[in-house]
Structure 1
Amino acid sequence: MIGALRTPEQQIVTVFGGSGFLGRYVVSLLAQRGYRVLVPTRQPNMANYLPLGKVGQITPIHANLRSEASVAHAVARADHVINLVGILQETGRQRFDTLQAKAPAMIARLATKAVSFTHVSAIGANADSESVYARTKAEGEAALLEARPDAVILRPSLMFGPGDSSFNRFASLARMLPVLPLPGADTRFQPVYAGDVAAAIVAAVDGKVPTGRTYELGGPEIRTMRQMMEFVFTVTERKRTIVPLPAKAARAMGSVLGGLDWLTLGLIPDELVTTRDQAILLESDNVVSEAAAREGRTLQGLGITPTTIEAIVPGYLLRFRKTGQFDLKRNTA
């Protein structure tokens, strides 16, 4: 194994999607371990939000998943490759088919030097799903395994952590609306801390994760969408009314909002937009399967103790309280 012959400082890890929400956790942990990290991005000059490392340890480079030449350059010297790229909504030239169905195998095919390939998909990936998101996630997994049978595939549930688009979005909605129409109110999720997912990814780079397998990563508790919203209300000290939306109504609302968002060129606040495809996703539970739990293809199976939402989420939702996080009376009580 390469890890037994060379130190992390002598190895290069290319992280596609390294400038995104999960990517920043992954890049930070890799840097702490000593790896040299390349972060392909369409705009390297805008990647000022990457974690800090030693001088020259973390380097943003130009690459576009629609350009094989740029991808080949990004992985030419990589000892390890990580793919975190995924989108919840198509915008402009960012398409599900390109980024989720085709890109994973294309990257793997070009990364001829890499001794490991770690790919982050999602619980709910399903080739037979009505959701284009879920279907292209499954297509990407299948194509990747054909090109790289020894790849490690990680499927997280809903991820949380500072900067997330889940609990932050819930809190924004609670601040804006007195009544919240809620698609998938009774759909179950297993929220997982992004830092725990990043730990699993870095363990795969370290060679500590059995390869050629698909892992499902969930937190310690299962909660419905309604329960997560109510948790946010408690933390932000707001009273709001939840109106569960039936599946047909949620799909119709998604079609209208998605269409308006497209017509206005994305001017509708992101918090208010739930597309039809997302409404379809919210019709199915998003939890670790019994098979994955039984076979140890989970965080616990990898020796990682999942973090609770109570331990992390309140710390970054305090700003959504009416009196904010700098309430002098509260802080001096």
Structure 2
Amino acid sequence: MNKPLVVVLGGSGFLGRHLAQMLVQAGYRVRIPSRNRNVAMKAAAIPGADLISANVHDPDQLAKLLRGASVAINLVGILNENGDNGRGFQTAHVELVEKLIGACKKAGVKRLLQMSSLNAGRGSSYYLKSRGEAEQKVKDSGLDWTIFQPSVIFGRGDSLFNRFAALLKIAPIMPLAKAGSKFAPVYVGDVARAMVLALGDKSSIGQSYELYGDRTMTLEEIVRYTAEQLGLKRLIWRLPDALGRLQALAMDFVPGKPFSSDNYRSLSLDSVGGVDGLFKLGVKKTPVEAIVPLMLGSCGRQALLDRGRQVR
């Protein structure tokens, strides 16, 4: 009997690699389209995952990719865009979803799993607005959909603890906008597991799941915790709103955009959730403390303490 085929858009990314591996282990065939095969080589190393060079923004290529598939999963998302007018978010989030829905119908794929975000459709940020628009497109599609709304996702290779770790190693002072913004970081493995479980659960069709961890942390607490694990003492400067907005505006012009005006707007809403989707799907939460100290490696506080004990 042929294994069911799942096409994962965004499967070569941080979450996608974890999800692809779990899908293969659960008995699915996995097809991962990527525009840049060199960037996606980590995904190509997953046994059972088929990496295909393709432009997912081309409707014809998208329909071909979905032929023979049972499920489409959309993980594609961006945190920043060129400029600050919302156009990039519309292309990556809304227009791609429109094309994917059309391709699913053309290829006869009825099941669609859509990655979104906590607070989708709320607030003034283009990121959240476009996530909300994409969700509505999915809900109106007539497909058998399930939507996932995570808080910030952490794990090896993330852009949360790892990004702050890199900054803290070189910056004695960390100026922090919206330092009091709250998050409930969720482990990447728990998010991937939730998606695999939902895929095999018909009751998840037509449902949206908020995915968040067991610990609420402010942005300042996340930075302080990261510094602790690195064995570093750093001064955190909580920027008042006026300076925070100026910082974001200045970062709009920095290559790679480590922070942006749209990020600043997103931080106006706490990303903590309210209805526990992981619990509903039967996923036991992995705490930050179980992953981050190991993830930060030999520079972690515990490793430094261990080396100190060995010297004595």
TM-score by length of 2: 0.91
- Name which of 6, 11, 21 aligns with 2:14: 21
Alignment partners' CA distance in 2, 1:325 and 1:204 = 41
Q: Which moved more, 1:241-250 or 1:136-145?
A: 241-250
Q: 1-side partners of 2:29 and 2:310: how far apart? A: 42
The answer to whether 1:80 aligns with 2:71 is yes
Structure 2 unaligned residues grouped into runs of 5+? none
Q: Give the CA deviation at 1:316.
A: 1.4
1:133 equivalent in structure 2: 127
Moved over 6 A (4+): 322-327
Q: Does 1:41 align with 2:34?
A: yes
Q: Give, in whole Å, the separation in 1 of the partners of 2:303 and 2:204.
A: 46
Question: Structure 1 residues 46, 283: CA separation in 2 closer, same or farther (over 3 Å shift)?
Answer: closer
RMSD: 2.4
5+ residue gaps, structure 1: 1-6
Q: Give 1:199's aligned residue.
A: 193
Given that residues 293 and 302 in structure 2 are in contact (C-alpha distance below 8 angstroms), is that contact kept between their aligned partners in structure 1?
A: no
Percentage of identical aligned residues: 33
The answer to whether the aligner puts 1:123 opposite 2:118 as a matched pair is: yes
* Code of the aligned partner of 1:277: D
**For residues 331 and 73 of structure 1, what CA distance do their matches in structure 2 show?**
59
- The letter for the 1-side match of 2:78 is I
Q: Does 1:237 align with 2:231?
A: yes
* Distance in structure 1 (CA, Å) of the matches to 2:55 and 2:123: 28
Residue 322 of structure 1 deviates from its aligned partner by: 9.3
| Partner Cα distance (2:81, 2:281) in 1 | 33
Q: Which residue of 2 aligns with 1:216?
A: 210
Alpha-carbon distance change, 136 to 330 in structure 1, aligned in 2, over 3 angstroms: farther
Contact 2:155 2:292 in 1 (8 A): yes
- Separation in structure 2 between the aligned mates of residue 181 and residue 196 of structure 1, nearest angstrom: 31
Any conservation in 2 of the 1:190–1:286 contact (CA below 8 Å)?
Answer: yes
Q: 1:162 — aligned with what?
A: 156
Are the equivalent residues in 2 in contact too, given 1:161–1:194 (CA < 8 A)?
yes
Counterpart residue identity of residue 312, structure 1: I
What's the offset of the Cα at 1:76? 1.7
Query: Structure 2: which amino acid aligns with 1:68?
Result: P
User: How far does the alpha carbon of each residue in 1:102-158 deviate from its partner, in whole angstroms, 9 at most, with x for none?
Assistant: 2123212211322421001000212x5211101101011111111145310000001
Question: C-alpha deviations, 1:70-93, integer Å up to 9, x for none?
Answer: 11111122111100000001149x
Find the counterpart in structure 2 of residue 106 from structure 1.
99
Residue 316 of structure 1 is aligned with which of 295, 298, 302?
A: 295
Q: 1:280 aligns with which of 265, 281, 294?
A: 265
Change (3 A) 1:323 1:220: closer
2:55 to 44, 64, 70: 64
- Are the equivalent residues in 2 in contact too, given 1:123–1:216 (CA < 8 A)? yes
**Per-residue deviation at 1:234?**
1.3
Deviations 1:195-214 (A, max 9, x none): 00000111122235521111
Tell me which residue corresponds to 1:176: 170
The answer to whether structure 1 residue 89 and structure 2 residue 80 are counterparts is yes
How far, CA to CA, are the matches of 1:32 and 1:108 in structure 2?
Answer: 27
- Do the aligned residues in 2 keep the contact of 1:179 with 1:241 (CA within 8 Å)? yes
Partner SS for 1:86: coil
How far does residue 326 in structure 1 lie from its aligned partner after superposition? 12
